[in-house]
Amino acid sequence: MRLIYCLFAAAALVPAADWYSFRSGPLEVWSNASEKDSREVLALFDQTHWWLAKLLGRTEIVPLWPVRLVVVKSDKGAAKYKTTHIERKRNFYTGGMVSGEPVPREWIRDFVRILLNDGTSVMPQGVERGLVEMIATLQVKSTILTVGVPPAGTERRTRDWARMHLLCVTPENAGRVRVYLSNLQQDATMDSAYRNAFGKVEKEMEAEVDRYFQAGQFASQQISGKPISLERDYRPRTILEQRAAIALADLLGGAAAKSAYLLAINQGEKSAGAYEGAEMYAEATEAGSDSATAWHQHSLTLKDPEKVKESLRKAMELNPRWAAPHARFSELMVTDGKIAPMKKACELEPRNIAYWQRLANAQVEFKDFAGALLSWRKAERAGASPEERARIEEMRRAFEKQKLDLEAAERQRIAEEKARELARLKAEQEKSIREAEDRANAKLGKFEGEKPVEWWDGPKGQNSLEGSLERVDCLKGPARLAIRDAKGKLSQYIIRDPTKVTISGRGEATFGCGPQRPARRVRLEFNPKSDAKLATIGEVVGLEFLDAR
């Protein structure tokens, strides 16, 4: 019985022959159904893409991942491939529908959200919500677009929708709305954007929105769209059945999808896409996967930090606009080098509040408090709802208060560090002086003086001694004294300026140049200071003659 089931599952997985694709920019439709139906699906999304870019004043809006829409031929097993939304699977956004059925309007909403999220700067949430709802009812007939058709349900005719209907659809405003939306993408206030585009302040324009909304007269308009020819511009390309089987597996959810990938692998489909779908990321990368997602997921399974970085670098190379590998890379850094990849992640995905918070925390860690405050403000702007923005605002204000304490603590730390450095340099300098003095004393012989007597009231030196003055050398201003201490050691001292030295004592308190005959007993006050050139070991500050002459 199990064998029969497996054979049936295998047969169900393999798609019918004659799969083909149509492509326009980042959009592609894969189908085994009517070419006409498939071209019309592509035209709807192609024109939606074109009109949104025109409204925003952009040449082009590029989604982060390609958009693959799968149109399945209507048969007994087709319903299981229908999806309510366009969702990201592996390395692209995808959705599945049955040929002949209308395109789900939720797909258009998803597509517009994708383009806004991946390709534009953050605008006020009410503006973005209004754009999504207003564009979701777009009707396309080749190059003729019918815009501004009111949503079928009144619950979707919100004031945000009415604002964008007034600005984007009514002829008097439609020609200037791109200025308004372009200003908002550049962080302008609503008031500035209104002034620059329509010459009115925000209060006046919002009052006009109220009147328009309450009147309830929402007329649609026909405009010329992107100049395309469905047959000439959308040419079919053949798709291998094995690749189509993986595309169908992408439309299934949970265990059913994984089983379909594994079944394809067991049937011989050893492609990187099949391995990735089955969450066999090592095998996918070994098979030469060109999927940034596969390499990023592979990095999460590795333990060696260098191999993790290598896998992340490959993911960055394959999709330079994807923020996740940069954010993951910053987690591996232990220095302030983590700030650069985190900044890059925020730049690539400015609507990601968690990224801005992580960047702010890293900036605080490495003392960039001004940068952290700016990151908190960016996080606040990225809030998806008034409640979320209020929550982030509260956290930002708390940080502003904390920032003053952090900056004061950092200034204190820097001051203390400088003080410690100055103390270290001073200690090294004093040590160097002492070592120089010790070297000079070692060269001249160690001097040992006597303790000063209590009654001395002349100038005090650092040291004093009593001994016999045996010779005075007059040196054209300074005088050098040769004194023999009580132990018989002869040392020399310098009087640099006799007018600044106190000389006192019994009898004649003077001396002449040359040998002193007889030698005179003296008390000497001096400061130790070696002078190798003069061969002295101290500078005299006071001299007292102890004998009478």
Say how far apart CA 212 and CA 163 lie, in whole Å.
8
Q: Is the pTM of this model over 0.95?
A: no
State phi, psi for 370 to the nearest 5 degrees: -65, -40
pLDDT value of position 179: 97
CATH number at 517 reads: 2.40.50.140
Domain span at residue 501 reads 463-545
Q: The tokens 């996740």 sit on which residue?
A: 324
- CB-count burial class (<10 Å; 0-12, 13-18, 19+) for 233: middle
Q: The tokens 């002492």 sit on which residue?
A: 434
Q: With helix as H, strand as E and coil as C, how does 332-391 read?
A: CCCCHHHHHHHHHHHHHCCCCHHHHHHHHHHHHHCCCHHHHHHHHHHHHHCCCCHHHHHH
> What does the pLDDT profile of the chain (549 residues) look like in tens digits?
343 334 334 444 445 458 999 999 999 999 999 999 999 999 999 999 999 999 999 999 999 999 999 999 998 889 999 999 999 999 999 999 999 999 999 999 999 999 999 999 889 889 999 999 999 999 999 899 999 999 988 889 999 999 999 999 999 999 999 999 999 998 899 999 999 999 999 999 999 999 999 999 999 999 999 999 999 999 999 999 889 999 999 999 888 999 999 998 988 888 999 999 999 999 999 999 999 999 999 999 999 999 999 999 999 999 999 999 999 999 888 776 788 999 999 999 998 999 998 998 888 888 888 888 888 888 888 876 777 778 888 887 887 777 766 767 777 877 878 888 888 888 888 788 877 777 776 765 544 444 444 444 557 788 888 999 899 988 888 889 999 998 889 999 999 888 888 888 766 667 778 898 888 898 989 999 998 888 999 999 888 888 766
Is residue 52 a part of any domain in this protein?
yes
Say how far apart CA 120 and CA 538 lie, in whole Å.
81
Is residue 270 a part of any domain in this protein?
no
Give the tokens for residue 380.
Answer: 């606040």
Q: Count CA within 13 A, CB hemisphere, residue 536.
A: 22
pLDDT value of position 458: 59
DSSP 278: T
Say how far apart CA 516 and CA 482 lie, in whole Å.
10
pLDDT value of position 6: 40
CA 165 to chain centroid, in Å, comes to 37
pLDDT value of position 432: 81
State phi, psi for 183 to the nearest 5 degrees: -60, -45
Helix axes 190-198, 177-185, angle to 10 degrees: 150
pLDDT value of position 369: 84
Which residues, 6 or more positions from 284, have their beta carbon under 8 angstroms from its beta carbon? Answer: 272, 273, 275, 276, 291, 294, 298
List, as own/partner pairs, every contact residues 486-492 make where C-beta atoms lie below 8 angstroms and the sequence separation is at least 24, other chains included: 486/450, 487/448, 489/445, 489/447, 489/448, 491/444, 491/445, 491/447, 491/537, 491/538, 492/444, 492/534, 492/535, 492/536, 492/537
Is residue 359 a part of any domain in this protein?
no
Is residue 165 a part of any domain in this protein?
yes
Query: Is the distance from CB of 94 to CB of 86 less than 8 angstroms?
Result: yes
Helix axes 353-365, 369-381, angle to 10 degrees: 170
Look at residues 233, 266, 284 and tell me which one is the last residue of a structural domain.
233
Is residue 127 a part of any domain in this protein?
yes
CA distances from 63 to 53, 111, 265 (A): 12, 9, 30
Is residue 351 a part of any domain in this protein?
no
Look at residues 212, 233, 254 and tell me which one is the last residue of a structural domain.
233
Say how far apart CA 483 and CA 486 lie, in whole Å.
10
Instruction: Give the pLDDT confidence of 108-126 residue by residue, as tens digits.
Output: 999 999 999 999 988 988 9
pLDDT value of position 336: 67
Helix axes 339-348, 369-381, angle to 10 degrees: 20
pLDDT value of position 486: 87
Count up the domains in the chain and report the number.
2
Name which of 461, 481, 480, 479 is nearest 469 in CA terms: 481
Say how far apart CA 115 and CA 49 lie, in whole Å.
8
Is residue 137 a part of any domain in this protein?
yes
pLDDT value of position 443: 65
Say how far apart CA 545 and CA 189 lie, in whole Å.
92
pLDDT value of position 15: 52
pLDDT value of position 158: 95
Say how far apart CA 206 and CA 138 lie, in whole Å.
25
CA distances from 144 to 222, 329, 452 (A): 7, 47, 114
Is residue 133 a part of any domain in this protein?
yes
Which residues, 6 or more positions from 335, have their beta carbon under 8 angstroms from its beta carbon? Answer: none
Look at residues 174, 203, 233 and tell me which one is the last residue of a structural domain.
233
CATH number at 31 reads: 1.10.390
pLDDT value of position 423: 82
Helix axes 324-331, 339-348, angle to 10 degrees: 160
